[in-house]
Amino acid sequence: MNAPDTRTAILDLAEELVRSRSFNAFSYQDLADGIGIRKASIHYHFQTKEDLGVALVERLRRQAIAWASVLVERNATPLEKLDAYLDFQAQNCSSDGLICPQGVLGAEYNALPSRVQESYVEFLEQIQTWLASLLRKGQEQGVFMDDVPPEDQAALIQSAIQGALQLSRASGKQQRFEAVAKGLRDHVLCPVDG
């Protein structure tokens, strides 16, 4: 395995382990065993686990930016963007038992290394800003109710989605997430054209 492939394999497995266990519940030995390399190879790419955590969160941020860019290229409406976001989050309710990386990192936030905390907060702010922007545009177009500031609506959506993902995972019932997503779309945001 060459160096770029090794780095990608490390990040892929680290993301899987974060989503199935948590950031603090796996070691470099777990990564080495899972990929079939020596721990020294992991240290070559990520000197510390904090470096690995920062790189992982940055990769998640880049993926989110790329995902949102596709919606811009499609010239999606605010309602289409919101539906796409809810559908994207619904993928985190899959039966494979994995949890949304935002949720698991948030749950163990106090135990994360400081630079991983900083990257995580920047990632959450990026999502908050994106949601608030699409909600503001939807309010301006008369698609969403405008009696709540878009920043507050975005915080409500993020909080409700993360809570619903946790409940769905713990109960094994994806319909719990689906009910929250439908409630957000149909009652909290009250799209005019419904």
CATH of the domain at 101: 1.10.357.10
Decide: residue 169, CB within 10 A, 0-12 exposed, 13-18 middle, 19+ buried: buried
pLDDT in tens, 43-86: 999 999 999 999 999 999 999 999 999 998 899 999 899 989 88
Domain with 108 in it: 49-188
| Number of independent structural domains in the chain | 1
pLDDT in tens, 175-194: 888 888 888 887 666 655 54
Whether 184 is covered by a domain: the verdict is: yes
Position 165 scores a pLDDT of: 84
- Between CA 62 and CA 144 the distance in angstroms is 28
Whether 55 is covered by a domain: the verdict is: yes
pLDDT above 90 covers a percentage of the chain that reads 58
Tokens representing 123 are 């990632």
Whether 128 is covered by a domain: the verdict is: yes
Q: Are 19 and 104 in contact (CB under 8 A)?
A: yes
Whether 16 is covered by a domain: the verdict is: no
Mean pLDDT value across the chain? 89
Whether 30 is covered by a domain: the verdict is: no
**Category of 59 on φ-ψ map: left (φ > 0), alpha (ψ -120 to 50) or beta:** alpha
Q: What is the DSSP string of 48-108?
A: SHHHHHHHHHHHHHHHHHHHHHHHHHTT--HHHHHHHHHHHHHGGG-TT----HHHHHHHT
Q: Are 146 and 189 in contact (CB under 8 A)?
A: no
Whether 25 is covered by a domain: the verdict is: no
Whether 7 is covered by a domain: the verdict is: no
